[in-house]
Structure 1
Amino acid sequence: MIDQFLGKLLWDKDILNQSMYYSLIGGGKRIRPVLALASAEVVGGDPEKILPAAVSLELIHTYSLIHDDLPAIDNDDYRRGRLSNHKVFGEANAILAGDALLTYAFELLADPGVGLPERQLRIIREVAVAAGKDGMVGGQVSDVAGEGKTLNLDQIEEIHKGKTGALLTASARLGGILAGGTEKQVKALTDYAKALGLAFQIKDDILDVVGNSEILGKPAGSDLRQGKATYVSLLGLEGAEHQLHDQILKAQSSLKPFNEGAIFLTELASFIQQRQH
């Protein structure tokens, strides 16, 4: 559903649109929009009705990856098995493509057909907070500031609650709220997504050490080269695996209010634990 929607977006042939399209269509697991659609479904809603809002999350995520790869931040030449955006289109166009994707995301979030206006307004604000200074961008700033420093577990978790967890949490809440879920249901989805976000980052840290660069689609070992504090550098591989397992169990136990209706979300957590890229 997500890829079909992305394919139908009208992309012009100018350099900006080419740059946006290159990174957005270049693969990826689509975890955030999938999480939003599944959350809408689990509260009894129709996932198709919120599709534009769900896809907006992929635009925000993609913009963050384009900017992450820039020389001033992570300086990565490859993403998803292809050259990073700035290696193809230049740094200026990569920055502007990221800016345009972020703005386009809020255009999709404001689509009149995605939900009741009061729910939609609530979600627009929540996504803005999750993507901004108190969420993803703030986490990225803390991540950069922590390079070469020894951080404790609480500090690492705080970084990743912002950098990775905030947008994942907003994704689950987006689906639940727009589809008319009760506050109890939205709370369960929130708890699930918070644990899932930490699990996702722990798995990323593990794969950076033991992953295959060809499967990952980007160079393994980049965190070590940049001196970043990770779950693995603090806890070791075995300790990180234990933390990953604990967060997956925590995520899955949060779904108890949905009984058998949350099979997909339960399996999504297992996928996060087992993924190889």
Structure 2
Amino acid sequence: MKTLIGAFLTALVVLPIALASVLPIPSADTQNLSERLRPPGTPGHLLGTDELGRDLLSRILHGGQVSLTIGVTAVLVSGLIGITLGSLAGYYGGRTDAVISRFVEAQLSLPLLLMLLLVVALFGQSIPVIAFVIAIANWPEPARLTRSTVLVEREKPYVAAARVLGLRRGAILVRHVLPNIMKQALVVVLLLLAQAVLLESALSFLGAGPQRPFPTWGRIISDGQAVMQTAWWIVTLPGLFIAALVIGVNLLGDGLREGSWKPRAPWSRRLDKKTAVR
């Protein structure tokens, strides 16, 4: 049930964002002061307009493209870094594990939002910089999970058998250990997408997000604060999109982690076939 609800909420947000360029909606940057602060349901403006008469639905969908681009890029980079370093730490142990673990602990001890603001202030507010900064902030989570799962996996009999057959340690890690822990690591990477979108929205809300004319969810909410008492929809509706995406991704990740997605061992399938024949 969690998987279905999570997939539905995620698709409800992601699909319109992906199709924003082909949907029959006004441009996100077209201003019309005669149409400013129109409430939701106004003809031609399904979710109303903002303080400059821009269509709010168009700005939310195009802003979602920016937020999801940053979030997905950050998650891919952080997942690659985290899974690589975590697998090395868990499999090789010793000094390698100690060095990587100290880096993880140092990263987790830093105040996350302040660190992001500092780096963005130093290197600029471009989309690649923000995506890379969020990726660097998120890599410890997949690294910790990958390390713990590899520690368990490396003690299993098939790893010892591979060593007896003369396979090198690197080959065993890449060809045998990583495929067995990859799905668990990918679930954690999926859950990081919600955190990455929240971080990007927070940076944009504080004025450290992508520069204009890019609309982002955080900037739309920030701009709507001044007229929140008379135009509640400018703040509320982007917040609902963020909440739906975060809840959907979290439910989807929890459902995949707890559900029946786990791979079955080859010998269990062979036993099932023998049982069916009998």
Fold shared by both chains (TM-score > 0.5): no
Instruction: Flag the structure with larger Rg.
Output: 2
TM-score (norm 1): 0.32
- Larger RCO, structures 1/2 (Cα 8 Å, 6+ apart): 2
